[in-house]
Amino acid sequence: MTFVTSNRHKFSEVSAILRDHEIPVEMASLELREIQADTLEEIAAEKAREACRRVDGPAMVEDTGLFIDGLGGFPGPYSAYVFRTVGNEGVLRLLEGAPDRGATFQSVFAYCRQDGSPECFPSAVAGVIAPECRGGGWGYDPIFIAEGASGRTYGELGDDKNRLSHRRMALENLARWIHDSGNAL
């Protein structure tokens, strides 16, 4: 399975999770065009079509967004842009004094073959935004506390992140589909 992403952290999480399902993954590091759209599904599906054309074979992509309740779901589909521009400190500043720190990390994997339309696998994990950056990790890891993580941010969970992350459930469904349909690879 070729996973097209420019993000090596994502790749290592995805390959570790799919290893449990005996699905080998290779990374194709390409920057894909991100269309402006309201949903991660639309963005992921379009990225999958482009990925498939560019690797000239079956390809998988993922699009992720952090949806913060107190900000009306922002940054959502704009998460990559917001991370690049204001980063975690900027997000924490936007939430200063906010009574509601609820947030959801959403993920959509899209798989596409040249002869078909993209197949999407969404999932979401609810949680809260931490009061300050804690732990290591990458991206929004230091500020997101998932439900069931005993108050620890993704950044503080280390390898345990893969057990309960937004990425895990979507990949479980993708792996089941691959095995059931005899598709892919």
Nearer to ligand ITT by Cβ, of 50 and 119: the residue is: 50
Q: Give min distance, CB of 103 to ligand ITT, in A.
A: 12
Q: Give min distance, CB of 82 to ligand ITT, in A.
A: 8
Q: Give min distance, CB of 140 to ligand ITT, in A.
A: 4
109 within 8 A of 44, measured Cβ to Cβ: yes
The residue of the chain with the least Cβ separation from ligand ITT equals 139
Nearer to ligand ITT by Cβ, of 80 and 164: the residue is: 80
Nearer to ligand ITT by Cβ, of 49 and 167: the residue is: 167
Residues that bind ligand ITT (CB under 6 A): 5-7, 10, 62-64, 79-80, 83, 138-141, 154, 165, 167
Name the token pair of 156.
């503080």
Residue of 20, 63, 100, 159 with catalytic role: 63
63 is catalytic: yes
Which active-site residues does the annotation give?
63
